[in-house]
Amino acid sequence: MAKSIWFAGAMLSVCLALAQESPEQILQRAVTLHQSGNAEKAIPLYREFLRLQPEAAQIRSNLGAALASTGRYEEAITEYRGALKGLPGDPRVRLNLALSLYKSGQISEAAQELAALHSAQPDNRQATILLADCRLRQGQNTKVIELLNPLEAADHTDLALAYMLGTALLEEHNLERGQQMIDRILRNGDSAEARFLMATAKLDAMDFNGAIADLQKAAALNPNLPDVYYFLGVAHKEVGDMAAARKDFEKEVLRNANDFGSNLNLALMLKEDSDFDGARRLLDRALRVRPSDPGALYQLATIDLATGKVEAARIELVGILKESPQFIEAHITLATVYYRLKRKEDGDREKALVQQLNAEKEAREAQDKDKDKGK
């Protein structure tokens, strides 16, 4: 009881002290504290100033910066959005908003802000590189290449840029240029980045054991290298070592809670263990990075089906197929859903579509084989 009375008295003293100061004095104290590295104490002062002068957009941006520096990204995002209303053309505020979105795992939203900034300031190198990183995390490799090609042509010394561009090139099966990026990194000695890119090439060539060896060396050289444990998990999964794959994906998520591929793979593993709640949490996290990914959305639908939410699964599957009409597995599952709902005609229609799509797929594969023979 005495402690509660003391706390209330202390808060009253603070309020009275603030009431005796002018807005300018409050702001000056906030800025001084912020600049001296004491963001936590600056935050309530910024808030008090903005209570008195809510239209001060630049100070709202200052508050966003203070919140972001303490890891309170969601609050920072709110303040930066508010600041942008008063400073709609301010590139620094938009960049800071994008950074907070990025750090909170809202990759698609960060990409939207960065794309707008890149359109207005195509020479803003920081914004371009961060946008390329977002596109890479979203699996949009051609956009990464388009963004980074001009920067790479102007600067052959930036190894971080070469690494990002090389990753996108190898993902797009451009092995020749991807190898050029590897060679550029290797000229500076053996490195985690070079090993990672070599492993990516080996994964593309289905040399999974070779990829594992390179990825393990990369992880030993730099355990904090982004995506190294995700790709190690993929390689272990391909050789059938599911226990090792699971540990790899868990390591990646531990370092980067918003890694799309690791969250998706772990969700599949939890779903197989009938841990549907855990799987759903991981899928929700993955979809924050790639909101429209049909594979992740499909897994959510299958969880709803497995847990008896048949109508919810139907709605989700119909939405997926509207955007991805060639998704055969989704058609198969939707047929199952219709049969459970006693909608035989709809189920039969989906079943016929599956047969048609499979026939078309087989025809394409046969055509591709004939082309390969003719080469």
Q: What tens digit of pLDDT does each residue of 16-73 get?
A: 454 568 889 999 999 999 999 999 999 999 999 999 999 999 999 999 999 999 888 8
Res 270: pLDDT: 97
Task: With a cut of 90, say whether residue 367 has pLDDT above it.
Answer: no
- Rounded to an integer, the average pLDDT of 278-306 is 93
Nearest to 161, CA basis, from 185, 189, 134, 195: 185
CB count, 10 Å around CB of 329? 14
CB count, 10 Å around CB of 118? 18
Domains of the chain plus CATH, in order, are 23-104 (1.25.40.10), 292-367 (1.25.40.10)
**pLDDT category, 7, cuts 50, 70, 90?**
very low
pLDDT digits (tens, 9 = 90+) for 118-132: 999 999 999 999 999
Which is more confident, 292 or 269? 269
Give CA separation, 232 vs 22, 165, 235, in Å.
59, 20, 5
Statement: the pTM of the whole predicted model exceeds 0.75: no
Res 226: pLDDT: 84
Task: With a cut of 80, say whether residue 354 has pLDDT above it.
Answer: yes
Res 372: pLDDT: 59
Res 375: pLDDT: 53
- Rounded to an integer, the average pLDDT of 223-234 is 92
Task: With a cut of 70, say whether residue 284 has pLDDT above it.
Answer: yes
Res 1: pLDDT: 45
The overall average pLDDT reported for the chain is 89
pLDDT digits (tens, 9 = 90+) for 328-339: 999 999 999 999
Contact status, residue 62 vs residue 86, Cβ threshold 8 Å: no
At residue 202's C-alpha, the angle toward residues 224 and 366, to 5°, is 135
The token pair at 207 is: 């040399």
Task: With a cut of 60, say whether residue 13 has pLDDT above it.
Answer: no
**pLDDT category, 155, cuts 50, 70, 90?**
confident
Res 209: pLDDT: 95
- Rounded to an integer, the average pLDDT of 119-148 is 92
Contact status, residue 306 vs residue 283, Cβ threshold 8 Å: no
Nearest to 84, CA basis, from 69, 101, 64, 67: 64
CB count, 10 Å around CB of 276? 16
